[in-house]
Amino acid sequence: MTTALTTPTTVPAHAGTGGLRTAARLTALDLRLLLREPGVIVGLIAFPAVTVLILAGVFGSVPDPEFGGVRPSEHYVVGYMGVVIAQMGLVTLPAHIATHRELGVLRRYRASGVGAGALVASQAALGAVLGAAGALVVLVVGGAVYGVPAPDDPALVAGWLVAGLVCFVAIGLALGVLMPSSRAANAFGNLVFIPMFLLGGGGPPRDVMTGAMQTISDVLPLTHVIGGLRLSWLGATDDPHVLWWPFTVAAVAVLLAVRTARRRVA
Amino acid sequence: MCGSARRRTLWGMTNTMSTARPCVPGSGDPDRVVCIDGLVKRYGSTEVVAGVSFEVRRGELFGLLGTNGAGKTTTVEILQGMRRSSGGRVEVLGLDPSAAGDRLRRRIGSQLQDANLPARLRVGEALRLFSSLHPDPRPLDEVVEEWNLGRLLRRPFAGLSGGERQRLFVALALVGRPEVVFLDELTQNLDPTARRQTWDVVRRIRERGTTVVLVTHDVEEAERLCDRIVVMHRGRVVADGTPAAIVESLGGAATVRFTDAEIDARRLRDLPGVAAVRRHGPEVEVAGDGPILAYVGAHLVAEGRPALDLRLDRPTLEDRFVALTEEDRP
């Protein structure tokens, strides 16, 4: 190990202090550390993967008007890409950031000259990588079991995935800054995630919800992300899908995070 | 300047105050590493740092000593640019920490109180990461050897003992060749052996020419290590000087003690420098200043009663520290 440390390829004389390089290095390190803690990764992916397999199995693969005329299995498999992204933003990322904050890891990085921008970028990239990887796993697992057609509009699918990642990464960053501890982040994240998952497209189809449930569902960013994914992938959906809404929620989350972070430094 | 005249009046510390070192931020003195003038930090209506002024010279091993809650860590966090001040002026390496931010932090080394690393991060990974943050880091093999981290490189942070963690933190703080290093409560929660090993580490840092700002509530640590100490109490500086000068400010009083149940203690009052003689059962206590140990010893020999347990107690920095921090300030 000592040899590895002294090898120029592993220890560059000057690896650069650019914010982006530092952010990339921190993201890579965080991913490596998460892989050593498989519980986090399993928790992020197992819940949506298992749930989608059950629901898709229960409702079957016959086109159904209650699911906007598409096969229920496809409805759930495509929609659960959004669910896993939401789980990353509401549970995994806030708990990770709050734990680092609680332990003083972020302070130690800051005291060593890691810029606030690099820290935020590294956590945002971490969330985006986890969300995208989780969505891919759900798609592969669900598709392998029930089959998924080729996307109707691949560019739009990519657009909605980006919208979902931007929205929930921003929420994850905000919760990570706002929550006083990792326990609070975990508790609050689950408290928000479970109803959002049930009413935002991961639970019963919109047609069987009560009027009040539909009203709540309409304002949830997950509803729109899942609706957009279903429309762009399957060509039809009954779910709302306003593209600017996830970005608006993201902007509000970023503002909240910046205000809170500034207050903490003052 | 720096409120020093007021301090002299309040605390009678003329001989310990560093009034010969006026601190005016922006004066361009290259040997002045830290300069604080009238620093104030408020949280709401609570003033946790109330007009603190001091300076740190290049190459010094400087101690910021105070009880818990004295405002030491807040002061240091402002110096590191991690917190904004509410008033006063601060300069570190000629830069304003609140404006220079990361540019300054790459020139200083920091061992923070209560700041950890991710539990599963390995020692080798931590060294590589922190090394990569600096433009001209020290070769890692040199750092590993210097701080005896070779056998720990693959061990996760959570698996390190308290002493091993402190060695790692110091190595991380020094890997970027800092001009000044801040060490906050470095020996907190360490056993006596690890504590002494850590003191050796601090001495080695200073021997290499790095300016050290040691933040501690441990009087013995400050006395053993520091060239100069500032004592903070309730957000204010209550003493500033070398450990010896701060002790001296008690008046240089010394006490000679010995056991002799039969000696006529009243005759000891006539010896030069003796201010008072007290008897506690068989123990005799002679207070005074100057070489009273020699006079008392000579007297006992002359009387044909040399005491086996004759000893001299001088006031310690701890005595002075307790006296300073017990006083109730408005």
- Do B130 and A10 lie within an 8 Å CB cutoff? no
Q: Are residues B80 and B186 in the same domain?
A: yes
Which residues in chain A are closer than 8 Å to B83, comparing Cβ atoms?
Answer: 265-266
Q: Are residues B99 and B52 in the same domain?
A: yes
Residue B64 inside a domain? The answer is yes
User: How many distinct structural domains can be found in chain B?
Assistant: 2
Q: What is the ipTM of this complex?
A: 0.81
Nearest CA in chain B to A38: B120
Q: Are residues B16 and B97 in the same domain?
A: yes
- Do A113 and B172 lie within an 8 Å CB cutoff? no
Of B103, B118, B140, the CB nearest to A11: B140
Residue B172 inside a domain? The answer is no
- Do B112 and A107 lie within an 8 Å CB cutoff? yes
Residues A169-211 pLDDT 10s: 999 999 999 998 999 999 999 999 999 999 998 888 888 899 9
Whether A11 shows a pLDDT value over 60: the answer reads no
What values do phi and psi take at A201, rounded to 5? 115, -10
> Of residues B321 and A119, which shows the higher confidence score?
A119
Q: Are residues B76 and B200 in the same domain?
A: yes
- Boundary residue ending a domain (B233, B248, B263): B248
Residue B279 tokens read as: 């008897």
Which residues in chain B are closer than 8 Å to A16, comparing Cβ atoms?
Answer: 132
Q: Tell me the domain boundaries of chain A.
A: 41-265
Q: Please give the pLDDT value at position B252.
A: 59
Which residues in chain B are closer than 8 Å to A29, comparing Cβ atoms?
Answer: 121, 125, 129
Residue B163 inside a domain? The answer is no
Whether B14 shows a pLDDT value over 50: the answer reads no
> Of residues A42 and A29, which shows the higher confidence score?
A29
- Do B82 and A16 lie within an 8 Å CB cutoff? no
Q: Are residues B230 and B276 in the same domain?
A: no
Of B110, B115, B118, the CB nearest to A33: B118
**Average pLDDT over every residue of A80-94:** 95
Q: Which residues of B259-276 are buried (b: 16+ CB within 10 A; e: fewer)?
A: ebeebeeeebeebebbee
- Do A113 and B176 lie within an 8 Å CB cutoff? yes
Q: Whole-angstrom Cα distance, residue B234 to residue B238?
A: 9
Min CA distance, B34 vs chain A (Å)?
A: 17
Tell me, what CATH number does B194's domain have? 3.40.50.300
Residue B57 tokens read as: 């010279």
Are B56 and B21 in contact by the 8 Å Cβ rule? The answer is no
Q: Which of residues 40-69 of A touch B (CB under 8 A)?
A: none
Min CA distance, A42 vs chain B (Å)?
A: 17
Q: Whole-angstrom Cα distance, residue B86 to residue B46?
A: 11
Of B82, B131, B144, the CB nearest to A2: B144
Q: Whole-angstrom Cα distance, residue A52 to residue B241?
A: 70
Q: How far is CA B86 from CA B41, B50, B60, in A?
A: 5, 10, 27
Of A29, A33, A113, the CB nearest to B105: A113
> Of residues B69 and B121, which shows the higher confidence score?
B121
Min CA distance, B27 vs chain A (Å)?
A: 26
- Boundary residue ending a domain (B223, B248, B273): B248
Residues A101-131 pLDDT 10s: 999 899 889 888 888 888 999 999 999 999 9
Q: Whole-angstrom Cα distance, residue B8 to residue A11?
A: 53
Q: Whole-angstrom Cα distance, residue A137 to residue A255?
A: 32
Q: Are residues B241 and B263 in the same domain?
A: no
Are B257 and B311 in contact by the 8 Å Cβ rule? The answer is yes
Interface probe, candidates B86, B132, B138, B143, chain A, greatest A C-beta count within 10 A? B132
- Boundary residue ending a domain (B228, B248, B268): B248
Q: Please give the pLDDT value at position B328.
A: 53
H, E, C per residue of chain B: CCCHHHHHHHHCCCCCCCCCCCCCCCCCCCCEEEEEEEEEEEECCEEEEEEEEEEEECCCEEEEEECCCCCHHHHHHHHCCCCCCCEEEEEECCECHHHHCHHHHCCEEEECCCCCCCCCCEHHHHHHHHHHCCCCCCCHHHHHHHCCCHHHCCCEHHHCCHHHHHHHHHHHHHCCCCCEEEEECCCCCCCHHHHHHHHHHHHHHHHCCCEEEEEECCHHHHHHHCCEEEEEECCEEEEEECHHHHHHCCCCCEEEEEECCCCCHHHHHHCCCEEEEEEECCEEEEEECCCHHHHHHHHHHHCCCCCCCCEEECCCHHHHHHHHHHCCCC
Residue B140 inside a domain? The answer is no
Residue B128 inside a domain? The answer is no
pTM: predicted TM-score of the whole model, two decimal places: 0.79
Does residue A234 belong to the interface with chain B, where contact is any CB pair within 8 Å?
no
Q: Are residues B242 and B261 in the same domain?
A: no
Of A1, A12, A30, the CB nearest to B153: A1
| Burial status of residue A9 (CB atoms within 10 A of its CB: 0-12, 13-18, 19 or more) | exposed
Q: How far is CA B316 from CA B65, B250, B254, B287, B294, in A?
A: 15, 9, 10, 15, 20
Residue B120 inside a domain? The answer is no
Mean pLDDT over each residue of chain B, to the nearest integer? 85
Q: Are residues B89 and B184 in the same domain?
A: yes
Of A30, A111, A266, the CB nearest to B80: A111
Does residue A105 belong to the interface with chain B, where contact is any CB pair within 8 Å?
yes
- Do B116 and A113 lie within an 8 Å CB cutoff? no
Min CA distance, A35 vs chain B (Å)?
A: 10
Residue B226 inside a domain? The answer is yes
Q: Are residues B100 and B11 in the same domain?
A: yes
Q: Please give the pLDDT value at position B16.
A: 42
Which has the closest alpha carbon to B113: B74, B65, B78, B66?
B74
- Do B120 and A2 lie within an 8 Å CB cutoff? no
Q: Which residues contact B181 (CB under 8 A, 6 or more apart)?
A: B108, B109, B110, B111, B173, B174, B205, B210, B211, B212, B213
Terminal-to-terminal C-alpha distance of chain B: 22
Q: Are residues B82 and B200 in the same domain?
A: yes
Interface probe, candidates B106, B107, B122, B129, chain A, greatest A C-beta count within 10 A? B129
Which residues in chain B are closer than 8 Å to A32, comparing Cβ atoms?
Answer: 125
- Structural domain range at position B208: 4-107+179-248
Residues B64-117 pLDDT 10s: 999 888 999 999 999 998 889 999 999 999 999 988 888 888 889 988 887 889
- Do B140 and A15 lie within an 8 Å CB cutoff? no
Q: Which of residues 220-249 of B touch A (CB under 8 A)?
A: none
Q: Tell me how many degrees the CA angle B19-B34-B23 measures, rounded to the nearest 5.
A: 30
Which residues in chain A are closer than 8 Å to B101, comparing Cβ atoms?
Answer: 115
Band (pLDDT 50/70/90 cuts) for residue A157 is very high
Min CA distance, A116 vs chain B (Å)?
A: 9
Residue B99 inside a domain? The answer is yes
Whether B142 shows a pLDDT value over 50: the answer reads yes
Residues B24-44 pLDDT 10s: 766 777 889 999 999 999 998
Does residue A37 belong to the interface with chain B, where contact is any CB pair within 8 Å?
yes
Q: Which of residues 131-170 of B touch A (CB under 8 A)?
A: 131-137, 139-141, 144, 150, 153-154
